[in-house]
Structure 1
Amino acid sequence: MPHSAKTPKDQNFEIFLAALPGLEAALHTEVRGKGFKLAKPVPGGVTIRGGWPEVWRANLWIRGAGRVLARLDGFKVQHLAQLDARARHVPWASVLRRDVPFRVEATCASSRIYHSGAAEERIVKSIQEAVGAPHDDEAELTVRVRIEQDFCTISLDTSGELLHKRGYKEAVNRAPMRETMAALFLQQCGYDGSEPVFDPMCGSGTFVIEAAEIASRLNPGRFRHFAFEQLATFDPEAWQDMREVKSRRVPAARFYGSDRDAGAIEMSVANAERAGVADCTEFRQATISEITAPEGPPGLVIVNPPYGTRIGDKQKLSALYNALGQTLASRFKGWRVGLIASDSSLAHATRLPFLPTEAPIPHGGLRVTLYRTAPLA
């Protein structure tokens, strides 16, 4: 953690990539695979070290991170006057611009400074004294302050909108799976882009499109804008060069989605077109009893069935999970299965031979688990 002021020329500060609790190891695997230096899993994400080009690259390349934070400073602090004094030494003027509004979000935990609003006020004041930038509670550029066990970490949120917003999805269905989470679940299932993927309850197409993008080597951030573009450290020409590096390839496999709902299929087709993967994806309306394995070599079936959070749902859903399991066991020999469920009894209603599971992951107010199989015999 940085204990001294950093300048934008410093190419060795800490960068934090946020993940959902329980998915840190999967994110770490992805970050290392993309060649980032000194990647280390920590609670809530992964840290790397580098400079501003690494910040841009992490936002552009990494599929599983929810946001990318650039650590500006870190110091012990026990009362507000101390925070006031230390905040004046943060190199605000080297990273923030006078003409760009900012906001501050503080959290306090197990610390003598416990009033986050008072901490925010001190940071706002120090930034305005140093830079003169306007404070605006609706600003895209966010300074994040975390005071935990009397240690204050000051970071810039370089992403802006959360990174699961890839920029191609206008249409979503109820309870959508975030793209970041879908990417890490695909990775936990051993998916590397070389095999077909089939989602028999595809909703708005998230798993299918994410798999097609991975296989096509398309950067997840290629369509969107990031908060770091508003920083004093931003170099538009270098960024343009980074964005324009093309590594697209034609996938060796195809990617399939089906859903019983015609509206879901329309959404999926439109989202795949906007993402630029319409040529390697196929979507069709079908019930679970109608699905069959696509022609060609086996691959991965990944599915996020309804969870049934209301009393009385479970019996109806148990029949659906059972039908899904029977269809996969009889028609998808040689395919691996990844199934996301919030209830182990529903998952086991499929009667599929699941491998040992990892810890559950928070999702939409629930905790969900990825259930995986080896290739079905």
Structure 2
Amino acid sequence: MEQDRDFEIFLATVPGLEPVLYDEIRLKGFKSPAVTPGGVTIRGGWPEVWRANLWVRGASKVLARLKTFRVVHLAQLDRLARQMAWGEILRADVPFRVEAVCAGSRIYHAGAAAERITTAISETLGATAAPDAQVVVMARIERNSCTISIDTSGDLLHRRGYKQAVNRAPMRETMAALFLRQCGYDGSEPVLDPMCGSGTFVIEAAEIAARLNPGRSRHFAFELFANFDAAAWQRMRDVKSQRIPSARFYGSDRDAGAVSMSEANAQRAGVGDYTEFHCRTISELTPPAGPAGLVIVNPPYGTRIGERDALFPLYRALGQVLLKRFTGWRAGLVTADTALAHATELPFLPNTAPVPHGGLRVSLFQTGPLPQPPA
């Protein structure tokens, strides 16, 4: 394993949202960003790995790509794995596990490949393999080319560290951040979610406006690596860019329990001073005082026919309220059902391709500034 300070780093995201993640990474100054299936690659060293975990909102994982080599049989994989300087990254006293994927290669058995690499690490480093280990080495063997990576994140990055309670089928923070970006949100305008659930869109918007790093309140797998520099990491975490937002952020829900949940989550996230949550139905929804901004909502989809049919009145009511009362505001609506989206009668722009979410495929439907209603 070379000590080269410049290697490839892969930031994973939801398939279909790679260009949106690319925009975020490019604006945050990372080196040589490039869109690739399933994510974005950058170049850098271990400080860039730490910074990506700490800063980037739309990525679900950050993988450090350690080495790539050609391999056509398991004995060759075993030999090449033993040649890697595992002690530069892994600690002998920290358990690890290996995950492998094989596609279009002469080595086709992922379990056998993972077993060979596991044995190579155990016998050369003296570390113990464990099925629930936080440190994960990943091998992807595709067209007889093996890429060895290490998961530097640990828990998925949508786990920001402030949510103790969530509602059913919540929007992940990473996906919410990317949908906000797709809607043109940059932190300078108010955001309102009229079906806020556990408050994800509202809290994410407030954090963006306050310039709070998404990874500030959690731990990462790289803190268990042999090359981890705790003092340098603490200095990076201590750099503060926080500001007081110029806008406020609003959530409402007809469920009082969801409102209480959102308020508690916002307080833990440190954005309670910038957010407001109210128990309201869609028919009671009114725009807050001040400039127009963005209404963004992830309403129920109704996966069964009976459920779906019952949702048409809700979508129609949402569209009527927005068209009547929210002149000048933009709207973003996430749903798995095009017919439900169009039941709002909102003037949607051409919508994006659907992306996977919770076992379904959802699309972001968005509008420009809503027009003045006819007299």
- Sort the TM-score into its range (normalised by shorter chain): over 0.9
- Equivalent residue for 2:330? 336
Tell me by how many angstroms 1:125 deviates: 1.2
- Equivalent residue for 2:46? 52
Aligned length: 371
Tell me by how many angstroms 1:78 deviates: 1.3
Tell me by how many angstroms 1:132 deviates: 0.7
Tell me by how many angstroms 1:129 deviates: 2.2
In structure 2, the residue corresponding to 1:312 is in which secondary structure? helix
Which of 274, 285, 298 in structure 2 is aligned with 1:304? 298
Q: Distance in 1 between matches of 2:142 and 2:14?
A: 19
Amino acid at match of 2:113: A
Q: Which runs of 5+ in 1 are unaligned?
A: none
* Aligned pairs for 1:149-298 within 5 A: 149-298=143-292
Q: Distance in 2 between matches of 1:91 and 1:32?
A: 32
* Aligned pairs for 1:347-362 within 5 A: 347-362=341-356
- Given that 1:6 and 1:13 are in contact with CA atoms closer than 8 Å, whether structure 2 keeps it comes out as no
Q: Distance in 2 between matches of 1:89 and 1:203?
A: 51
- Equivalent residue for 1:91? 85
- Equivalent residue for 2:99? 105
- Equivalent residue for 1:146? 140
Q: Which runs of 5+ in 2 are unaligned?
A: none
Q: Deviations over 1:272-330 (max 9, x none)?
A: 00000000000000000000001000000000000100121122101110000000001
Q: Deviations over 1:35-59 (max 9, x none)?
A: 1010001000000000000000000
Amino acid at match of 2:16: G
Tell me by how many angstroms 1:82 deviates: 1.3
- Bigger drift between 214-223 and 307-316 goes to 307-316
- Given that 1:72 and 1:90 are in contact with CA atoms closer than 8 Å, whether structure 2 keeps it comes out as no
Q: Distance in 2 between matches of 1:152 and 1:224?
A: 31
Which of 58, 61, 71 in structure 2 is aligned with 1:67? 61
In structure 2, the residue corresponding to 1:38 is in which secondary structure? strand
After TM superposition, where is structure 1 displaced by more than 6 Å over at least 4 residues in a row? none
- Given that 1:77 and 1:83 are in contact with CA atoms closer than 8 Å, whether structure 2 keeps it comes out as yes
TM-score by length of 1: 0.98
Q: Distance in 2 between matches of 1:91 and 1:71?
A: 14
- Equivalent residue for 1:17? 11
Which of 3, 6, 9 in structure 1 is aligned with 2:2? 6
- Equivalent residue for 2:122? 128
Which of 15, 39, 42 in structure 1 is aligned with 2:36? 42
In structure 1, the residue corresponding to 2:99 is in which secondary structure? strand
Tell me by how many angstroms 1:130 deviates: 2.1
Q: Distance in 2 between matches of 1:330 and 1:124?
A: 62
TM-score by length of 2: 0.98
- Given that 1:105 and 1:120 are in contact with CA atoms closer than 8 Å, whether structure 2 keeps it comes out as yes
Tell me by how many angstroms 1:66 deviates: 0.2
Amino acid at match of 2:106: R
Amino acid at match of 1:80: L
In structure 1, the residue corresponding to 2:301 is in which secondary structure? coil
Tell me by how many angstroms 1:71 deviates: 0.4
Tell me by how many angstroms 1:75 deviates: 1.1
Q: Distance in 2 between matches of 1:11 and 1:249?
A: 33
